[in-house]
Amino acid sequence: MPQMRFLSIRELQKHGSGIKSILEDDGNIVITSNGKPIGFTVGINENSFEEVLDDWKRIRQQRHLRYIDKKLDESERLAADPGSKWIGEEEFWSEVSEAEVSMKNEV
């Protein structure tokens, strides 16, 4: 497996034309700003493009699922908190109707 190289945004700006050879040699680059990662590049070729694209799609799906799980956990904690203010469905739709009427009156 190719090793990963770290490249600052400043180095990238200075030597941007050399990124092709870096990707060919090292395969992957982590782009940093002030020592912190801000981006990631992956070297590909005609033969690996579809495979890398499929991998990227799977990564995005996993990130999305983790986000949903996090939001569900937050909702469960909020729902379990006796201090949380909840309104019933009837009150919710009443407020929606009032807002719709108010918006129509503003037009």
Count the domains in the chain.
2
- Order of strands, sheet of 28-33, starting from the edge strand that comes earlier in the sequence: 4-8, 28-33, 36-42
Please tell me whether residues 50 and 39 are part of one structural domain: no
Please tell me whether residues 37 and 61 are part of one structural domain: no
CATH number at residue 38: 3.40.1620.10
What's the token pair of residue 57? 């799609």
- pLDDT tens digit sequence for 63-78: 999 999 998 888 888 8
Range of the domain at 64: 45-81
- pLDDT tens digit sequence for 2-44: 567 898 999 888 887 788 887 877 688 899 999 999 998 888 8
Cα separation, 100 vs 54, whole angstroms: 44
